[in-house]
Structure 1
């Protein structure tokens, strides 16, 4: 679901405030000028809107076109004249931009910063946002002003996706080995994500941020980005926390192979790379680098989903150090606190689902096998009027239970705490319930940026959600003086924090269902 932005004025006469938009900032790359993020009090829960500066389109790496295609991001060039950071930078190709007038090209590795700092040495906590699939950093849903209002420097950025971000090929592996020593390829988008984080660490002090206090946050494909940052040796000592929205599950869950965190083995990715070059009608990477951006997009798309190449992250044992199960068991992740959770109507569960009893039985038989079919039907029985409810309950429980199992695996090797949530509030003006992405406006406290018919309740929920998230970004714990309902960290108790239409701890599922999922997952191959 995409949203339409309400006007956020930039370039207007500055409001009276000693904010950073009153000056040109000298960065390591060159001077840059920001602008007031707001010129109106129509900002919902915000109280410090006059102090917030926004800089848009700051390059954090060089163009990814031409000879830089399918290479790790190269350093951005310095500039001498003041960079007027008034407008969004170009967004990366293969992103779905709808009716928005974004510029799309391969010179797209740029980022946007919202800062409430009044001086460059403010050393405020920083959060880096990674967006979900088919999106861009310019999407109004990811506006950072609401988080900046809480005394946090908010940064979002663009990264490569599709064939531009995930193509593996033997020639590329040879090139990459000469630079890194790793005979692998394919994770260009992941390396973009790492490069953005490293740029923030090196430069955010110029914008009032604390380079030693960076939390990473993302949703869906952005949660996969956040996981990979959390897991990779290449980002060691760069983060103090991670917020993974609609993100983690037990590594044995087959959904790991189809949802945002899915990845391919290097061998499978190399095979897809050969197929892709054949689709393009070329036989070498050099030839492919001479094709147009549009030709590259067309080469990945088949007439059906089965013959469309689904580019995804690659298990290269370089950027991605191991399988998800081994990362958790071996303790390869950075030992920092984590928030993670799920929405009610996502990952298989669909609000308003119409499903016949016959279709329900068919799905159960396709998903499970042998004795598992009867065991799941025993705990999720249905008739002609309850089939949809049983189906949704099965997938909702699977998410809650799987996230709790992931957390127990985390605790097996790490000392940092994890907080799990379950979101069930349906935003107004739509018919998809608590859909995938529906929590974003609330946790970022940016209801002003989208055009849903918000009511007082939504602003109240946004304040509570944003309080949790902002406290975590500042202290590594979602609880604080402004917390209205305590949120305990996950323990051996099988509980999750209910947020949205209710607040407080609830069971992840009926104990017999938890046992069933545990036994079923144990019978499957881990991812």
Structure 2
């Protein structure tokens, strides 16, 4: 890794960008200062007022930062559905990020922490479209993280996809206790008899804003892809099951966000949810620990005190099965054939779900896991035969092999559930991400700062193609891979099918053919498990679970 950054003609260029990008022939030429000024000169009219943007990092791309899509969430608006956006006179210069939702930042270097504030319902738009008549496809990206930093700012840069003809929207929404608190008094005052899920309601409000305004930025409001990773993908998944965002999006992209609806991992992952009664009880207990006797006292607290209180007791403010935003369990919505019928692109990463090239595991612990997880089903010996280990080293290797198979099989089973019930006319495309990003990224507080292998979220770099916006020592191969992967995303956003042009063929899911697309290290179809016997074992294990999420 070079000891110092190369020449940086604009703020988006990080270590090695110019050299690697030139080798890859990927990013074209950077704008001149005159071109950058021209990009920001034209005002765009929104329902709230006019805005001008700033140069977006690549020639011909403009970014509009910090546009409000709803009102402040402070004071009386705290823990209420999003309110109408403010209006302004004159022209607003959209050249700086809006504040991120107040949240824990323990362990995140101070220079990587954005400004926080409850006036956080803002979005950012990257576009290369030259006018409102373009009708370019739109991709709305939701950030990931789970009790980590949530912010739709610099690390989710949409310049490359914009250069490929997609209007990219990132946004901030409420998270943690400000985004997920349920409480009996909140339920009583709501119009729908529920509470929690405030952050998901924010996303719906952002989609409504996009519907009404995105044409002014060259976007097509009838070709919107709702996309995200981890926590963001779980929001996409909930909105597939919900009736709140109907007609506001037309494709769905979920990175590391869905699992078979009987997979026990759903109980602890980003897609987990609590019943309304359990969430209200959690909220009542949380208020008592903060010394707030009622809802008025909660709303009178400083946001920082609420966040620090949640961090101190590791309270869970995840999704809520409220009968409104999330109308029923994932299984019940699928069984009722009520899931939204849109094209879906979804995938998982190789070194997630407990797999890692650096996993340390003793042989005794491996065998104990087999007995506890598979013994009650009479499958422990089968597991140990399929994933044989005779040392600590092979135990770690075999556990990783099992974890990779299990995640692929779980994703495939969910995709078959979706295809068999919801997607009567739409295609589903699945992938398994295998490329390992090089080095570390000290500038990124969310995605793999010190992770190894093809960790969860490693695909996000390439899906968005924002390699040049990080401090990893990218190679020309990485830029080529990002170009290919982002091209698949751009094609999917445009047509609902990732295929086209010179891209390697990506077959749509066939429920009777357990295959997926490998992306990253290689491109081509692979089996969803390393053998038919492993597929049969894992399918039996998952389908035998009694809890249906």
Q: TM-score, normalised by structure 1?
A: 0.92
Aligned pair partner of 2:539 in 514, 518, 525: 518
Q: Give the aligned partner of residue 127 of structure 2.
A: 115
Q: Which secondary structure does the structure 2 equivalent of 1:119 belong to?
A: coil
Q: Distance in 1 between matches of 2:298 and 2:519?
A: 48
Structure 2: distance between partners of 1:438 and 1:348:
15
* Aligned position for 2:81: 72
For 1:506, what is the secondary structure of its paired residue? strand
CA contact (8 A) 1:95 1:161 kept: no
- Contact (CA 8 Å) 1:19, 1:52: kept in 2 or not? no
Give yes or no for contact 2:100–2:172 (8 Å, CA) kept in 1.
yes
CA distance in 2, matches of 1:374, 1:75: 59
- Cα distance change, pair 252–117 in 1 and its aligned pair in 2 (3 A): same
Residue equivalent to 2:402: 394
- The residue number in structure 1 matching 2:25 is none
Q: What are the Cα deviations for residues 417-474 of structure 1, in whole angstroms up to 9, with x where unaligned?
A: 1011001110111460101111111111111111110111111111111111111011
Q: Does 1:367 align with 2:373?
A: yes
Contact kept, 8 Å, 1:32 with 1:82, in 2: the verdict is yes
CA offsets per residue over residues 57-93 of structure 1, 9 Å max, x none? 0011111111111111111111113211111110101
Q: 1:111-146 CA distances to partner (integer Å, 9 max, x unpaired)?
A: 100010111221111000000022344443310101
* Unmatched runs of 5 consecutive residues or more in structure 1: 39-48
Paired residues for 1:23-38 under 5 Å? 23-38=42-57
2:481 to 445, 450, 461: 461
Correspondences of 1:174-213 after superposition (within 5 Å) = 174-176=188-190, 179=191, 182-213=192-223
- 2:391 paired with 1:377: no
Q: How many residues align?
A: 504
**TM-score with structure 2 setting the length:** 0.88
Between stretches 366-375 and 382-391, larger displacement belongs to: 366-375
Q: Could you tell me whether the CA contact under 8 Å between 1:349 and 1:393 is conserved in 2?
A: yes
Give the deviation of 1:404 after TM superposition.
Answer: 0.7
Q: Which residue of 1 aligns with 2:445?
A: none
2:159 to 134, 145, 151: 145
Residue 351 of structure 1: CA displacement? 2.4
Match of residue 518 from structure 2: 498
Partner of 1:271: 281
Give structure 2 stretches of 5+ with no counterpart: 14-30, 441-450
How far off is 1:521 after superposition?
1.9
Helix, strand or coil for the counterpart of 1:50?
A: coil
CA separation in 2, counterparts of 1:18 and 1:100?
A: 28
Distance in 1 between the 2:38 and 2:517 partners? 37
Matches within 5 A, 1:166-245: 166-176=180-190, 179=191, 182-245=192-255
RMSD: 2.0
Do the aligned residues in 2 keep the contact of 1:20 with 1:118 (CA within 8 Å)?
no
Change (3 A) 1:95 1:208: farther
CA distance in 1, matches of 2:373, 2:153: 36
Q: Contact 1:219–1:437 (CA<8 Å) still a contact in 2?
A: yes
- Alpha-carbon distance in structure 2 between the residues aligned to 1:511 and 1:443: 30
Q: Equivalences for 1:462-481 in 2 at 5 Å? A: 462-481=482-501
Please name the residue that 2:299 is paired with.
289
Q: Distance in 2 between matches of 1:285 and 1:435?
A: 41
Q: In the alignment, is the contact (CA less than 8 A) between 2:261 and 2:331 conserved in 1? A: yes
The alignment status of 1:106 with 2:118, answered yes or no, reads yes
Residue in 1 aligned with 2:20?
none
- The worse-fitting range, judged by mean Cα deviation, of 328-337 and 447-456 is 328-337
Question: Which residue is equivalent to 1:447?
Answer: 467
Instruction: Please report how far the alpha carbon of residue 244 of structure 1 lies from its aligned counterpart in structure 2 after TM superposition.
Output: 0.3
- 3-state secondary structure, aligned to 2:35: coil
